């Protein structure tokens, strides 16, 4: 099978027949994360701020399982119970990210699992192999003066 299921130890378990994330080549798709405490399985917080913080922590736990971070996210879809929470959600969401920010959609929905206020799903690109190649090219090799990236010395 080409698709690999990601089942992180430090993130909430799936509530149904789905994987917290699946990876196909360099593409990773994170299932929607809700504000569940991974240890207790209980909802964290009542406010949009508290719940968004927990959702972002859960996303980070899934990403960390693969050695990835928030900067690998290319697209998020945010589902909120009330678009009136949009500004407060944005403050928390932005505190976890840096520019360039991922592309994003945000939609109000009638109801979310366990009646939470927010759920966020992500599309991610695993660029770790490319990042390692770039570092190697910038540093050069031990037989060169450094920074050459050409590997003309045979290494």
Active-site annotation holder among 106, 141, 144, 148: 106
One digit per residue, the tens of pLDDT, for the chain of length 155 reads 689 999 998 898 887 899 999 999 999 999 999 999 999 999 999 999 999 999 999 999 999 999 999 999 999 999 999 999 999 999 999 999 999 999 999 999 999 999 999 999 999 999 988 888 888 777 765 555 555 555 555 54
Our answer to whether residue 122 is catalytic in this structure is: no
Per DSSP, the three-state class of 74 is strand
4-128 CATH: 3.30.1330.40
Strands, E assignment, the chain: 4-6, 21-24, 27-33, 73-80, 103-108, 118-125
Identify each DSSP E strand in 27-72 by its residue range: 27-33
Largest CA distance in the chain: 63
Predicted structure pTM score: 0.86
DSSP state of 20: S
The helices-and-strands tally (H runs, E runs) of the chain is 3, 6
What's the distance, CA 148 to chain centroid?
34
């Amino acid at each position: 099978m080409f698709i690999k299921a990601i089942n992180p130890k430090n993130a909430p378990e799936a509530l149904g027949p789905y994987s917290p994330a699946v990876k196909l080549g360099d593409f990773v798709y994170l299932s929607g994360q809700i504000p569940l405490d991974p240890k207790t399985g209980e909802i964290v917080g009542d406010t949009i701020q508290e719940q968004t913080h927990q959702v972002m922590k859960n996303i980070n736990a899934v990403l960390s399982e693969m050695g990835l971070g928030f900067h690998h996210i290319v697209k998020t879809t945010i589902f909120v119970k009330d678009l009136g929470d949009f500004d407060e959600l944005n403050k928390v969401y932005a505190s976890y990210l840096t520019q360039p920010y991922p592309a994003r959609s945000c939609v109000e929905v009638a109801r979310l699992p366990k009646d939470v206020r927010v759920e966020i799903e992500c599309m991610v690109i695993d660029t770790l192999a490319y990042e390692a190649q770039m570092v190697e090219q910038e540093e050069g090799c031990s037989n060169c003066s450094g920074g050459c990236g050409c590997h003309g010395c045979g290494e």
